[in-house]
Chains A and B, each alone.
Chain A
Amino acid sequence: MPRVKIKRKSTTTDMTAMCDVAFLLLTFFILTAKPRQQDPVPVDTPASTVTIKQPEKDIATLVVGSGKVFFDITGANIRIQTLEQMGQRYGVTFTQEEKNKYANLQAVGVPMNQMKQFLSMEPEQREKYTQPGIPADTTNNNELFHWIREARIADKVLDNAEMRISIKGNAKEEYPTIKKVITILQKQKVNKFNLITSLRSAK
């Protein structure tokens, strides 16, 4: 009786399909990953144990650092609408190009009378330029007050949603600056807002 010869099988597996899947996923993650937001001032958020994630839509962020306040709105159309309304209030007319530029920016802290000039800068120039922050005081008629108000109106008109306000403050920021921002928010009856924190490692 002849010996049955067992054919030895190769141990290599076909990696092509796996490679395809891996790269497909990789492409997906790279495309969905948002570029890290560059804040106009270094902001080191304080840590907390809260693990509620910040919503993605209908949110405006007040970046507070070095005694200055910067204002960031999510959503390009809300940004454009807010800028238009602010322009009307302060007698500045923006071109479509300027509006689009503003829509692509993030946190901005420039007084309205310098806004046109700021938007006309080249991106590299803008990065080097130190923004003076949005003028804010405790009266009822300051620019920060109107920025927040116009953004809330714009959100209501376009998305029919209540805009949520977040404060992203630097951990070392002195309390009076934060208090000023909170007072401005309370002046327009925004009594509920979020404080952005980083996650504290378990103690």
Chain B
Amino acid sequence: MAELDTSSDSGKGGKVRSKKASTRVDLTAMVDLAFLLITFFMLTTTLNKPQAMDLAMPDKDEKQKDNELAVAASRTMTILLGSNDKVEWYVGEPGKSTPTVEGFGKNQIRKSLLDNIQKIKASTGKDMFVIIKPSDKSIYRNMVDILDEMHITNVQSYGIVDISQPEVEELKKQNIY
């Protein structure tokens, strides 16, 4: 090991003494190993903690059906989740504007969301409201992805609503059901 020879060498004959072996053990390697393991355990314990995404669903009271909040159609964006990781979205009332079919991703749904937020802010002066309607053919990942997009694009008001039959037909027409 990196150790200098510090024994003063007198070099002048005399009695031959048996060299006393040092009782010290070199602990460097052991410390190295210990720190490596510490690092490993530290990283695994903190990173393994699951992330939790908050989700608040609209209150679904079976006794009072008529307390639904009316939101102006002009500032709502409806996103239908279809199969094969595809979404279809439109602004306003269904059928009034042409729906767009897109995938998930930075340049697809996120861009559309950001565009719509700006447009709606410019025309009505209010924030956009997003309605998410997952169809039976969509998978759980789609739902988490779209909620994550809400989080990324900072949409404050959104809700998950059950899909209706006409919307399923619409998805079928676009071949994503």
SS class, residues of chain B in contact with chain A: mixed
| A contact residues around B57 at 8 Å (CB) | 182, 185-186, 191-193
State how many angstroms separate the Cβ of A141 from the closest Cβ of chain B. Answer: 15
Q: Which of chain A's residues 35-66 have a Cβ closer than 8 Å to chain B?
A: 36, 45-55, 64
Contact, CB under 8 Å: A26 / B38: yes
Contact, CB under 8 Å: A46 / B58: no
Which stretch of B1-9, B86-94, B95-103, B114-122 is in the interface?
Answer: B1-9
| B contact residues around A172 at 8 Å (CB) | 139-141
Contact of A178 among B38, B135, B143, B151 (CB under 8 A): B143
Q: B52 within 8 Å of A by Cβ? A: yes
Contact, CB under 8 Å: B41 / A33: yes
Contact of A186 among B34, B60, B135, B142 (CB under 8 A): B60
Q: Which of chain B's residues 47-88 have a Cβ closer than 8 Å to chain A?
A: 47-60, 81
Contact, CB under 8 Å: A11 / B3: yes
Which stretch of A13-21, A89-97, A112-120, A147-155 is in the interface?
Answer: A13-21
How many Å lie between the Cα of A35 and that of B3 in the bound state?
42
Contact of A197 among B35, B53, B59, B139 (CB under 8 A): B53
Contact, CB under 8 Å: A175 / B139: yes
How many Å lie between the Cα of A41 and that of B152 in the bound state?
30
Contact, CB under 8 Å: A53 / B51: yes
Contact, CB under 8 Å: A50 / B151: yes
- With CB as the reference atom, state the residue of chain A lying closest to B152: A49
| A contact residues around B26 at 8 Å (CB) | 12, 15
- With CB as the reference atom, state the residue of chain A lying closest to B163: A175
Contact of A175 among B30, B38, B81 (CB under 8 A): B81
| Contact-size category for A | 35 or more
- With CB as the reference atom, state the residue of chain A lying closest to B41: A29
| B contact residues around A33 at 8 Å (CB) | 41, 44-45
Contact, CB under 8 Å: A191 / B136: no
Contact, CB under 8 Å: A179 / B134: yes
| B contact residues around A45 at 8 Å (CB) | 50
Contact of A26 among B37, B106, B137 (CB under 8 A): B37
- With CB as the reference atom, state the residue of chain A lying closest to B105: A203
| A contact residues around B139 at 8 Å (CB) | 171-175
Contact, CB under 8 Å: A30 / B41: yes
Q: B148 within 8 Å of A by Cβ? A: yes
Contact of B140 among A18, A46, A189 (CB under 8 A): A46
Q: Which of chain A's residues 135-179 have a Cβ closer than 8 Å to chain B?
A: 166, 168-179
A–B Cβ pairs within 8 angstroms, 22 of them = A11-B3, A12-B26, A15-B27, A22-B34, A25-B38, A26-B34, A26-B37, A30-B41, A34-B45, A50-B52, A50-B53, A50-B54, A51-B51, A52-B52, A168-B50, A171-B140, A171-B141, A174-B138, A191-B57, A194-B52, A194-B54, A196-B53
